[in-house]
Each structure stands twice: as C-alpha cells, then as structure tokens.
Structure 1
Amino acid sequence: MSFILNNCMAISIVFTVILFISIAFKKRIVALVISFVTVLFGSFLLFYAFAKISGLDALDIQIKGLIIIGEGLLLLVATSVFISVQEAKKKRCKVKEKLAAKGGDEMAIGVALTVLVVGLMFASGLSRGKTAKRKYMVWGTTTILIIAPFFSWAVSILFAISQEEGFAGVALMMLLFPIFFLIGLVALLTGVFKKESVNKSI
C-alpha cells in the first residue's frame, strides 16, 4: 500500500499516457475505462486518507487524491470530445446513422440524469442530520464526482442538439465543468478544514 501512496502521481500519469494512446488508436471503450479508473483511483486515495491516515500525511494524500480526481474528470471530458468528434464524422456520412445517434443521445441523457438524481438523493441521505463539517464534505464530493461531470454533460448535449452544432456543446461543457468542479472543491476543502461541531449543524 505504501508503494501506491508514494507513487500515486506517477500512476495517474501512466493512466493519462494509456488514455491518449487509446485515443490515438481510436479505442473509445478503453479510453472511457481509463478515465473512470483514474477518477476511482483518486477517490480511493481521498477516502483512504480520511479513514486510515492522520496528520500532514493525510492532508498530502487527500490533496493528491483531489488532483487525480480532477485529472480523471478532465480525461473523461477529453474522451467525450473525442467520441463526439468521431460521431459527428459518422453523422455527416449517413442520415440513418444520424437518426440512430439521436436516439442514442436521448438514452445517454436519460442515464446521466438518472445518475444525477440518484447521486443527489444519496448525498441528501448521507448529510441529513449531520454536522456542518460532514455536510460540506458530502456535498463537495457529490459536486465533484456527480454534478460537475453528469450535469455539465447533459446540459451541453441538450444545447448541442438544440443548436445542431456539436462543438457548441463541447464549448459549453468546457465552461460548465470547471465551474462546478471548483465549487465542489471549495465546499470539500471547507469541510476538511472546518472545526468539528457536535451540537451545531447547518
């Protein structure tokens, strides 16, 4: 375990290299898996530091975990852009594929909204009746892992469909995602550094 903790940034860089190699060889599934694995790896480091480590070492691992989570989410955005460009090329070739892709987009939006709603309900349950510190941490983590990627993606896809321009959706996603990610990061760090209050809660 100490090897993973000491070399976590190097491991995340390896994930990034593998993802871009996958994109170069047009392996979309591999690229998606690597981006998700990177997010999960950062989440594991973050929660492991909270549960098993204390002091400055915990803070160091927590910060690295947050950086890797952000890296993984950015890789997810990059993969989405890559897939969108590939699909746009296919849509220009065949009208039938365009209609099928539209149906696929609707299904993907439904899945994203479902994950978003379930995540919000789960976060609400975890934070109900808890201290302010716990609420900030729960909602910060939820914003980073759920709201930032899924809400940004769903809104961007809907905007792209309404404008009939895929790059408009990509541009909106690149604008929304960092905003929600930073909001979540601020909330999470506020919870991490907030003094525990037993008798008071938000």
Structure 2
Amino acid sequence: MATSNRPTLSRRNFITSAVAVGAATSLAAPALAQNFDPITGQPLQAVGPTGATPDAGMVQYDANQDLRRNVSSFHMQDWQPYFSNLTNGAVLVDLNSRALHFWGEDGQTYKLFPTSVPVSPELTRTGRTEIIKKVEGPTWAPTPSMKKSNPEWPDFVPAGDPLNPMGTHALWLSWQYYRIHGTHDTRKIGRKSSNGCIGMYNEHIKQMYALTKVGTQVMII
C-alpha cells in the first residue's frame, strides 16, 4: 500500500507542543480533577496517553490553582440579577468561581457545573450572547491567528479524535470562535486552561447539550 504524503510531522509537532505544556503540571494536578466529578463524585473518563490537548489553542495551566479550593467556592445563584426572563433557558458562566449555572425555561430546572476558563484577560470575552448552534461530535480547526502563530498545527482534527479539543459536544455562541464545549483532558477543568472557550467535562456538556436549545441566553461575567 502506498504511504500517505500527508504532513504527519505537523501533527506530531502539534501533539508534542501540547504535551510539553501539560507535562510539567500533570503530576501536580489533583487526582480529583483527573478521575472524579467533584460535584457528583462519579468517575470520569481517563486522560489518554497523549496527555494534554489544546483548547482552541495551546493548553496552559494555572499551576497555583487547586481545583478543590475552587470547587469549595461553588454556590447556587439566582437568575434574576442577570436575566429579565427565562425564555429558552439561561446560562451564566462565572469566570471567578469557574462555574456554569443553567436555569431551565420551566423555572424549576437548575444545574451547576465546574468549567475551565481562558488563561488571560486578553483571551476573555464577557457580556451577553446566546447559543446559535449545537453540535454532537464537533470537529476542530485552528483559527487563522492560531495557524499563523503555529503553522505546524494541523488544519483540521476530526470528531472522535482523542486530540480534538472540543470533546464530545459543543455549543456555538454568537461570538465568532467562542464555544462552550467538552474536553477529553479532565485536568483542564477548574483551571485557566483555554484560549477563549469555556470547557466542561464531557459528561456535563452532554447534559447541557440536552438541556439547551438554539436561542438559549448566555451571560459570561
């Protein structure tokens, strides 16, 4: 069989660069973050042998952040200070506590999940937006600016690939390139580890995918 001429070196460099950033902190990451949902205590899928994956870019970690300390700061919120109504449901992402709150249109459904958040203020966007698209099995491609800075990165990563930073489900926001999505690297949750997106455990984004609809209100504070 003829060998492929696809640029496998680029893919290898992409993997290596992501792993290198995560390797230094992987041993320090609490086992709680890797193996168990800190809210439910249920086991989560393990991080694969490839290590860290990029979240719309290179994975980075806030090494001084202890996920357990972050989880202890979770508390229930009331939707009324942030939304005038619950039409289509409402999502509040609190960047300080690194938590996502969801209220259903019925006024009874409430969910609280841990998230990852952007690594720096420059990559962070706040304000009001909404869900404009829902995708199960999302693919991923670097943005033009990412590709310019990292030309060795692949142009496209298919759905289901363990290197796909979008996880199993994704919710497109009205802001270009911004998503709420899953991750195969559970070490990122509870930390500053994304280049703009809001990351969730795959188990949790699957729930959000089922609960939300196109038009669900989103506010990031």
Superposition TM-score, scaled by structure 2 size: 0.22
Question: Does 1 or 2 have the higher relative contact order (CA < 8 Å, sep 6+)?
Answer: 2
User: Which has the larger share of helix?
Assistant: 1
User: Which has the larger share of strand?
Assistant: 2
Superposition TM-score, scaled by structure 1 size: 0.23
